[in-house]
């Protein structure tokens, strides 16, 4: 078996509150009774109780997991009939090995597809996906065992906050004409701590924006050099932050944030350039007009766009 896991002499405690997608929880089992039929597909109740998830690498989507697993049926169960689809079991200890019930603990290495759309406020789902090796739904159907499924309250995710847990069964087809396989999915949502993320990622950029906008109060040509240095500092910070994530084919929250930052700094730079131009032309009326409209428009427009961008995180 390539993925399941444990280490206790008693069943893991039951956990309530697991969410179940309405159209997936009963996929593949709607035509089958909750109890096994001697002439129909074998119904196997499956549960996983996660003790901890460690070493999550958001760049590669890999993590290590340690969990208890149970397989229960009214017919004999062969452990070798099942495998983990998104990882491997590095170590497995079996505690109960009766013909109709398997109780074990697994430590394994798993992988997931990270989603960086909200980076650096990104959220990720860490799944354990279990499926029969060769038996399709005409032979084996999974049903989630709610009493032995959940996440230990003492489980820790260094650098991350835990979210909702999900457990459901779906049908997986590998060809248009093939009979689907019953697939059990146990997943746990995690997200970066919002407060620490804001401090580490955005405070330096916002200080640069504040200094740049404050320079609009300066009615001297020397403010152009100040804003140019602020622009360079923003580019360097952006490069450092972006280097912590892999190249992705879609824009992230950070990308949109930095686009607004560059637009703000560019507007301030243009204001400074116009001030220098009209100063050399000895046109104080135009200088006053540029300063007046810059103070009125640039800060208001910038703050409004930033507010709209951060509101998208609530969706």
Q: Which domains does the chain have, with CATH numbers?
A: 42-192 (2.70.170.10), 195-314 (1.20.58.390)
- Across the range 47-51, mean pLDDT stands at 96
Is the backbone peptide bond immediately before 120 cis, with ω within 30 degrees of 0? yes
Specify the 3-state DSSP secondary structure of 60: coil
pLDDT of residue 27: 40
**To the nearest whole number, what is the mean pLDDT of the chain?**
85
pLDDT of residue 150: 94
pLDDT of 301 > 80? The answer is yes
pLDDT of residue 38: 60
Q: How confident is the model at residue 3 (pLDDT cuts 50, 70, 90)?
A: very low
Nearest to 187 by CA among 13, 19, 8, 12: 19
- Do 165 and 188 form a contact (C-beta atoms < 8 A)? yes
pLDDT of residue 176: 77
Whole-number Å distance between alpha carbons of 135 and 139: 6
- Do 111 and 87 form a contact (C-beta atoms < 8 A)? yes
Q: What is the radius of gyration, based on Cα positions, of the chain? A: 28
- Across the range 278-292, mean pLDDT stands at 88
pLDDT of 68 > 90? The answer is yes
Specify the 3-state DSSP secondary structure of 135: coil
pLDDT of residue 228: 87
State pLDDT tens for residues 85-120: 999 989 999 999 999 999 999 999 999 999 999 998
Q: How confident is the model at residue 221 (pLDDT cuts 50, 70, 90)?
A: low
State pLDDT tens for residues 142-157: 999 999 999 999 888 8
Of 40-44, 192-196, 246-250, highest mean pLDDT: 40-44
Nearest to 49 by CA among 99, 97, 93, 103: 103
State pLDDT tens for residues 174-213: 887 789 999 999 999 999 888 888 888 888 899 999 999 9
Whole-number Å distance between alpha carbons of 79 and 315: 42
- Across the range 242-259, mean pLDDT stands at 89
pLDDT of 13 > 90? The answer is no
Helix boundaries (H) for 106-252:
194-197, 203-214, 223-242
Let me know the angle formed at the C-alpha of 52 by 49 and 57, rounded to the nearest 5 degrees.
125
- Do 108 and 64 form a contact (C-beta atoms < 8 A)? yes
Helix boundaries (H) for the chain:
194-197, 203-214, 223-242, 253-280, 284-311
pLDDT of residue 305: 95
pLDDT of 234 > 70? The answer is yes
pLDDT of 245 > 70? The answer is yes
Specify the 3-state DSSP secondary structure of 81: helix
Q: How confident is the model at residue 29 (pLDDT cuts 50, 70, 90)?
A: very low
pLDDT of 30 > 60? The answer is no
pLDDT of 28 > 60? The answer is no
Q: How far apart are the first and last CA of the chain?
A: 40
Specify the 3-state DSSP secondary structure of 100: coil
pLDDT of 1 > 70? The answer is no
Cα 306 to Cα 202, 205, 208, 254, 257, distances in angstroms:
12, 12, 14, 12, 7
Let me know the angle formed at the C-alpha of 3 by 6 and 155, rounded to the nearest 5 degrees.
45
pLDDT of residue 16: 39
- Do 204 and 257 form a contact (C-beta atoms < 8 A)? no
- Sheet containing 123-132: which strands, arranged edge to edge? 82-84, 123-132, 181-192, 160-172
């Amino acid at each position: 078996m390539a993925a399941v896991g444990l280490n206790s002499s008693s069943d893991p405690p039951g956990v309530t509150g697991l969410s179940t997608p309405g159209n997936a929880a009963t996929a593949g089992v709607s035509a089958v009774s909750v109890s096994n039929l001697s002439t129909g597909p074998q119904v196997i109740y499956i549960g996983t109780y996660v003790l901890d998830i460690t070493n999550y690498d958001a760049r590669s989507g890999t993590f290590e997991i340690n969990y208890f697993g149970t397989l229960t049926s009214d017919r004999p169960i062969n452990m070798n009939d099942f495998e983990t689809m998104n990882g491997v079991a590095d170590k497995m200890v079996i505690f109960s090995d009766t013909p109709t019930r398997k109780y074990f603990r697994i430590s394994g290495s798993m992988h997931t597809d990270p989603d960086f759309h909200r980076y650096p406020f990104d959220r990720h789902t860490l799944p354990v996906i279990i499926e029969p090796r060769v038996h399709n739904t005409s032979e084996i159907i999974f049903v989630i065992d709610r009493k032995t499924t959940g996440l230990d309250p003492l489980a820790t995710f260094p650098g991350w906050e835990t979210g909702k847990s999900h457990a459901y069964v779906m049908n997986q087809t590998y060809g248009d004409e093939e009979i689907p396989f019953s697939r059990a999915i146990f997943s746990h949502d995690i997200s970066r701590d919002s407060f620490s993320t804001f401090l580490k990622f955005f405070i330096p950029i916002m200080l640069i924006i504040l200094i740049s906008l404050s320079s609009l109060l300066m009615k001297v040509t020397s403010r152009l050099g100040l804003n140019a240095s602020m622009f360079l500092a923003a580019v360097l910070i952006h490069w450092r932050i972006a280097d912590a994530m892999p190249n992705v084919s879609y824009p992230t929250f950070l990308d949109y944030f930095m686009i607004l930052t560059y637009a703000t700094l560019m507007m301030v730079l243009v204001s400074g350039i116009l001030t220098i131009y009209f100063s050399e032309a000895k046109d104080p009326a135009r200088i006053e007009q540029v300063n007046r409209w810059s103070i009125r428009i640039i800060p208001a427009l910038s703050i409004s766009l930033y507010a709209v961008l951060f509101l998208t995180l609530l969706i």
